[in-house]
Amino acid sequence: MRGKGFGLLMGCLALAGCGSSDMRHDLRDRPGLDDFLSGYVERDAYPFLYARLEDRDGNLIYEHSAANPTLLDGAQLGGQTWFRIWSMSKLVTISVVMDLVEDGVLRLDDPVARYIPEFAGLKVATGPGGENLASVAAALSGPGGKGAAAVATTCPLPDVDARPGMTVADLIHHRAGFYYGLTGVQCLDQRFMEEDLTRASSSDDLILRLSRLPLIQQPGVDYFYGTGTTVLGLVAERATGKPLATLVEERLTRPAHIEGLQYGLPDQAELLPRITGEGGTLRLAAGKELDLFGAGVPMYSREYPLNLGGEGMVATADGYADFLRLILARGTLNGHRFLEEPTIQDMTSPHTLTDNAFGYNGYNLWVNSGKLPDGRQGQGGLWIGGGYEGTQFWIDPERGFVGVVMTQLHAPPPAAKGFIEAFREAVYDRLVVDGQPVRPAWAAD
């Protein structure tokens, strides 16, 4: 790719060596951390958990798994176990698009309609009085949200023409007006479910179905989380004439030697069961209970015709940790320069939700402030993300390691509340870097 040999050299100099870490990581009281993780499974907060920490070179710092034998039915957990990662696909798609941007195939200010002309006539749904439905949805999900119910249930909703100018950057930053079928605005959610997006027969059919749905707000107005990254993947496909799965393989996983991150399960591989905590008790879930897309869920066979850039990938913990190590190393892995260092800097800089006390959004990466939900101050400056079925990750750029926690759980029960923050804090209570504890021994008491 153009200019990336020079970028690799300069990146190596800036980072004091490619593929080499000067930091030595260890953990005090590993059995205590094992017990901490296993306790959440024993209390029926999770059906199973697998945690993996790796340093920048891929050396294993920590690994532990715990499972409810009844729910897991003898399945084994490890670094090579395959998981549905849902929104952890988003960072992969965004990274591939930024690679296309670096190569001049795309521009962040390109209009989406240049690649998807079917979106030229998009509509924006409003409340009966012209209300912004993104604000209505936020009010419904917040304290005292019943006041918005009258607007949310008045069907059919009026609509207006979408303003032209939706850009590639709007898709990255969730400012395009796309959404999932869980807005709480009944009229929108019902139409979304009727389109049954995961059952589209092709990318073109998916675009057609999306084009029939109104946006929840005008493009470029504000942040609203939804299917924008899926549309971003469709833009990449139209711009290159290649399926997103091929772009991921050709531009990222093959040259960077990443195994365990892809669309479609390998032959003979099986996925773990879908489990829900709806109602407060763990049990096997029906597909329709995972209602992010409405009635359907993504499929994971090699024959599935859609590469859902926001939701559709599968990964092993080992494979996804390799991808995170590439981001940690400012775009380089196994001697391959995938993204330039300034691109990684931009991806982790403030872009949306910048007035939030808990952190800000980069390119679908949450950079935390360290403030915890209970008001205490924990470890800040981490690059964080996760997926719909409870998968979680973080990157620690200061201490040079990555963490992946895998499970498969929809609608976590109350006992799971605050788990990932508590687990990360338990890690930092025990973390030793270059022989020095990150926190004094009394901090873990």
To the nearest 10 degrees (0 to 180), the angle between helices 317-328 and 88-102 is: 40
Give the distance from CA 73 to its chain's centroid. Answer: 28
Residue among 362, 320, 370 at smallest CA distance from 344: 362
Cβ atoms of residues 329 and 15 within 8 Å: yes
Task: To the nearest 10°, report the CA torsion of 426, 62, 404, 361.
Answer: 50
Distance CA 125, CA 107 (A): 28
Secondary structure (3-state) at 166 = coil
Angle at 235 between CA 231 and CA 240, to 5 degrees: 150
**pLDDT in the model for residue 21:** 61
Residue 88 inside a domain? The answer is no
Question: Does residue 399 sit within a domain?
Answer: yes
Answer yes or no: is 154 within a domain: no
- Spatial separation of the C-alpha atoms in residues 125 and 161, rounded to whole Å: 9
**Backbone CA torsion sign across 183, 188, 194, 197:** negative
Q: Are strands 366-368 and 383-386 parallel, antiparallel or unpaired?
A: antiparallel
Distances (CA, A) of 54 to 21, 45, 62, 63, 317: 11, 25, 7, 9, 10
3-state SS, residue 324: helix
Residues 252, 318: Cα–Cα separation, whole Å: 16
Q: What is the pLDDT of residue 4?
A: 44
Q: What is the pLDDT along the chain (445 residues), one digit of tens a residue?
A: 334 443 433 334 333 334 446 899 999 999 999 999 999 999 999 999 999 999 999 999 999 999 999 999 878 899 999 999 999 999 999 999 999 999 999 999 999 999 999 999 999 999 988 999 999 998 887 655 555 566 666 788 999 999 999 999 999 999 999 999 999 999 999 999 999 999 999 999 999 999 999 999 999 999 999 999 999 999 999 999 999 999 999 999 999 999 999 999 999 999 999 999 999 999 999 878 898 887 778 999 999 999 999 999 999 999 999 999 999 999 999 999 999 999 999 999 999 999 999 999 999 999 999 999 889 999 999 999 999 999 999 999 999 999 999 999 999 999 999 999 999 999 999 999 999 999 876 554 4
pLDDT at 8: 38
- How many domains would you assign to the chain? 1
Residue 39 belongs to some domain of the structure: yes
- Three-class SS of 342-407: HHHHHHCCCCEEEEECCEEECCCCEEECCECCCCCECCCCCEEEECCCCCEEEEECCCCEEEEEEC
CA dist., res. 98 & res. 96, Å (int): 5
| Spatial separation of the C-alpha atoms in residues 148 and 155, rounded to whole Å | 14
CA distance linking residue 263 with residue 241, whole number of Å? 17
Could you tell me if residue 123 is inside a domain? Answer: no
Helix (H) or strand (E) holding 30: helix 30-42
Tell me the CATH number at 74: 3.40.710
- Angle of CA points 162, 168, 170, to nearest 5°: 60
Burial grade of 86 (CB within 10 A; 0-12, 13-18, 19 or more): buried
d(CA 153, CA 133): 11
What is the largest distance, in Å, between two alpha-carbon atoms of the chain?
A: 64
* 3-state SS class at 66: strand
Q: Which of 67, 65, 32 is nearest to 48 (CA)?
A: 67
So what's the pLDDT on residue 396?
98
Q: Measured between alpha carbons, how far is 331 from 328 in angstroms, rounded to an integer? A: 7
For residue 76, being part of any structural domain is answered with: yes
Residue 174: is it exposed, middle or buried by C-beta count within 10 angstroms (0-12/13-18/19+)? Answer: buried
pLDDT on residue 117: 98
Rounded to whole angstroms, how far apart are CA atoms 132 and 218? Answer: 9
Task: Give the C-alpha distances (Å, rounded to integers) separating 124 from 132, 211, 218, 296, 401.
Answer: 9, 11, 6, 24, 43
Residue with tokens 């898709």: 171
| Structural domain contains residue 126 | no
In a domain, 97, yes or no: no
Distance of CA 372 to the CA centre of its chain: 21
pLDDT at residue number 16:
35
**What range defines the domain where residue 76 resides?**
4-81+272-284+312-444
